[in-house]
Structure 1
Amino acid sequence: MLFRSTAVAATVACFLALAGAASAQTTQAELKDRVAAYVQPSNAERTRVAVEQLTAVGFTPAIETFEGGGRNSGPMEGRNVVVLIPGTGGGAGGEILLTAHYDAVKLRDGTMSQGVVDNAGSVVAVIEAARALKANPPAHDVRLILFDQEELGLIGARKWIEAHGITQVAGVLNSDVAAYGDTMMYGQNNGAQSAWVTRAVQETCAARALQCVGYPTYPPSDDRAFSAAGAPVVSLGFQDQVGAHQMWLAFNGGESTGLAEGFVPRVFRTIHSAEDKVEVVEGETIRLTADTYEAVVRAMDAKLTADGK
């Protein structure tokens, strides 16, 4: 059995039904338009878009600044954008973090990548999931964090952990690269403390009859900052089924991947390049991503509650 108990299974099933009803208000076309809004000439402008979109759906976001930057960029102020969704449990049991980075890379010619696959699609999806969670709060508080400077070395996530610690972090759902396709990818390499979060993902995949692929080794994102600090965390993303399996082989197939010599999966020919453009984005995927992430957060909440946390 995937569910730990009949009671937990019933709770998750109920939450899944509520998730679908709560998130049906935003059309796929509107979600794609929201992703396109992040095509901006600077990351500072992307911050503005994130704040505007959060405000438009009823949040009052806080901007937490930090001193960041890298060896190539030099010192650079960063901005994490944060909102809190109070749960029905009055703050007991810690917080579930729902995270994605909103910054984009600079290309070799000095222009900004459109950064929609990596990672505005995720940003719009987690905002939409947060909107649905706000409308029908789970027991645990949920903190949505949009990180800056992930592309410079997970700096925003590391700075947030330095400032706040992980004492109140019950679990983390991080999203990176979620803009097209119907297959969810999830990492399994974030330590033993993350096993229960992985189970919440797997149970959600089964309950929703969703095509999901688990990666023993998964590409790094802001989840690595949390796993290094000892927090339970999973990193999720979406792409087409063939691409998801090709990426699995590239990272986990060893010397005999079955891939043609020199073959590069589509996703890695897209991100960090001029091909990461809004035409690639599928509104249906953003809708699916938002609904699935909401369901995973509710599954995490049910597991924590069942464990008395």
Structure 2
Amino acid sequence: MSEAPLGSWHDGAAKRAIVEFVTSSATEGSQGFVAPVDRVAVFDNDGTLWVEKPAPVQLPFVLGKLAARLEADPSLADRQPYRAIVDRDESYLRALNDQDPHAVASMVDAVGSAWEGTTFGEFEAEAARYLAAWRHERFGLPYPGIVYQPMLELFDYLRSHGRRLFVCSGGGRDFMRVICEDVWGLPRENVIGSAPEFSYRDGAMVRQAAPHGPVTLGPGKPEYVLARTGRLPGFAAGNDDVDVELLDTARFALLIVHDDDVREYAYSDSAHRARAAAERSGWTTVSVKNDWKTVLKERSD
């Protein structure tokens, strides 16, 4: 007898809804059948696939780079986001979370300039060094350990029913591609995220300051998914307001609700619109506290 799917999930409404949708969409002749070519599943990253509190994994990498630029050129303190670094202005970070256009634009501009002229390989090496040393401040785990075990099982379950998986995040595409094969088992081409323009120079691909299109947040998510896959997702998962548009385009939408302050974190900041949309549209919600037997990959709950 084969092992039951989603072993780290409690047998509740969320698990049953997932299993019913996935099996129905893969069963030819069923009312919900989806042709294999259209079985696209798209996942947000921070807060959906791994822990995003107290700050997303990539944020200290970015802020550290900007702080080094600020030290080399103190005149940068006259503008954002450098002024926020000097003033330790947490309201600026909240504005980024809330997709304030001015905050997002200033951060995109600063990040683009910080790595301008860096080759593809140099950026990856810099990110890899950072990730090798990174540890979660509460759990003490390296980055692979803070991935959600139930979501890895969901990846495997979807693959077993012919789903092609993609990650679509507002975070840096090239940062995520450093870890995507080892952690998620996804090829690099299945990772969608915010990225710079590149130019060819003497046999190398070099990062430019200008972004490659808009930041991958809100409406940008389904726009990029459509551009990358030629399809909108049949299955999509997210956890906060920047995922609403992605989930709204999916036939089956899964919203992760962070409500377990013992095994992870309990918070609803930047998720009020998403939770209202879930209730209004009938999305499947996943309670970390009640639906997951185990939360983190490298911890036993």
Q: Give TM-score, length-normalised by structure 2.
A: 0.30
Higher strand share: 1
Instruction: Indicate the structure (1 or 2) with the bigger Cα radius of gyration.
Output: 2
